[in-house]
Every structure is written in structure tokens, then in C-alpha cells.
Amino acid sequence: MPLDHYITLGRSGLRVSPFALGAMTFGEDPGGAGCSVEESDKILATYLDLGGNFIDTANFYTNGHSEKILGDFFAARPGRRERVVLASKFFTNLFPGDPNGGGAGRTSIHAQLDHTLRRLQTDYLDLYWLHNWDRHTPIEETLRTLDDLVRAGKIRYIGFSNTPAWVTAQAQTTALLKGWTPLIALQVEYSLLARTVEGELAPLARDQGMALVPWSPLKNGFLSGKYRRDIPVTDSGRTAFVGGPDEDEFVVIDAVAAVADELGTTAAAVALAWLRAREGTVVPILGARRVEHLETNLAGLDVVLTPEHRHLLDEVSAPTLNYPAQLHGALRAMLQFAGTTVDGATSTVYPPLTQSDVRY
């Protein structure tokens, strides 16, 4: 499946590639965790030349340099910006000492968007994400501001990232009742090593027709294939930044490696293929510091996991979810269906009883 086999992003008419390109690593400041302007341009050109069209950044990535690199790239290539879905995020305050420099209030959203558009050298964003929940701002103020920006043509669609499910549900309900622009996607941490999103946010997204756009789909590189038991990782800077897998994570990593060996592909491709096979619309974000990283990860488009492989990976990575999630699976079916089959869910009788045991 190539990058130019597009899918609609949630309940919208926005067509995007099955993998987004994350620009968090574009630029070498701060801390040297990213890549040079030259390498960033190569990664971006490779992604676009292969048919990719969905690019994701944020106002604070590499202190704004990520947005600037993207803006310079498209300014030097007239006509290319209009062919991509360009997304950025607001929330982070880049102005020390100014309490209104960040967050999700009306004043700060307008200011942050103006700075972002200036760095990107564009008149509009295709998708604007709330990067984090601002508990100090009423959600209706954030939503009304974003709706005004949609009506003004400065942004086209909106989404939330890293926001609790109850806040997201409140926001979506408010937007729908008031006729404001609804959310079409949620950007969340999601991978074989980070599945707690399945407790609340993923079901909410499916119910409301929102796409999931996972960040860190390889869990800081743990699922890339380079982390193996008793084999030291040579990237000392990366290891110092993210640490290393623990024993529980190695159990999952081992299973992913075994499936990759069976299929003759990479661990990264298997981990990404598993994500894309999840229920609903799931569009993982690929991050890369070198062109080779991007090319390796794109193999995830060609991998088709068997039901047996999916079951194995599901089981070995099964998350422990917060209450009341554990009451919504097999136990719910036993308590509700009393030994019958409803909507494909078959249950046993619990507690063991017959009709004559019931006291009326």
C-alpha cells in the first residue's frame, strides 16, 4: 500500500496519507536531538515524492525551528504547499514571563496561530491541534475561538491531543449542540507498548467518527528493532534521553521480533502494521532523523499481519486499564446476556443457575 492511497481523516472530507510525517525532529535546537536543515529537507522531499501529503509539527518543536524549516521548504517550491495537509499545534508558551503567551484562551490562540503562520509562510493551516488540555480556560472559549478561525479561513479543521476523554467528550458535545466546528481527530500516544488509550479515548473516537493519529508509534524507538536483550544500543545520546526497555517491555519487543522474523520484515514494520490494523481510522505519525529511518518505517505499509499474529501481539501487549474498563468486556457479556449470543458476543451463565433458581 503506497503513501498515495489516501484515507479520509475521521468524519471529514480531508484526505490524508496512511502515515503522517512528524517534524518534531526538524532542527538541531534545543539539545541536539533533531537533525540538520539539510537532512530535514531530504526527509521531507522523500516523503512527498513517494506520495505522502500529511505533515505534522507544533509551535514549540525545536523552539519554532521546525515550523521555520517547513515554511522555507515550501516557499522555495511554489505550488507544493497547496498539495499537502499541513498541521500544527498550539498550547506551549514560548515567551517566559508572559502568562498569556500560551494555553488555550482566545488571546493566546490568536497570537500563537499568527506566529505559526508567519514561520510556516502560509495563510492557513489544514489542521490545528490543541496540544494539551488547558484546565485554566473554559472549553467553550477554546472551541468558539477555533470555530471563529475556521470561519475566517485561517484554519480548516481542528483536533485535540493529550486531552482527557471526559474533556474531549464535553468539547465535542458542546461543538455539535452549538453548531461550531467539531473535532475530526485525536493525536494520542499509542503503540504496542502504550495501549491505555484503549480505555476511554479510542472508544470515544470510534463513537464520534474521529481518527486516531498516534505519536511515538514505536515507543521512543523501543519497537524499531534495535533494542534487543543483552545487546547494547550504540546510540548513547538517545539511550540517555529515553532510557531503555524494562522486562515487561522486552516481552513485547521479543514477540514483535518473532513475528517480524516469520514475515521476513522489520520489527518497526510489524509494530506499525499492528497499529494500522486497529479498529477505526488510525494514521500513525512517523518521526525520522535520517532518510533511512523514514524509508525503513514505510515498510509498515506493505505488511499484512495474519489473525494469528494479531492475536499474539494483542495478548502479549494487553494493557491494564483503569476502572471501569475491566467491567466492559467478557464479564459484562456474562452478566448481561445470560448464556445467549448478542451482536456476536457469546456468554456463559453467571452465576451458575437455572431458571428455577431465580427468586421472584
Residues annotated as part of the active site: 61
Side-chain-side CA neighbours of 13 within 13 Å: the count stands at 1
Exposure of 202 by Cβ count < 10 A (0-12 exposed, 13-18 middle, 19+ buried)?
buried
Cell numbers for 100: 498569556
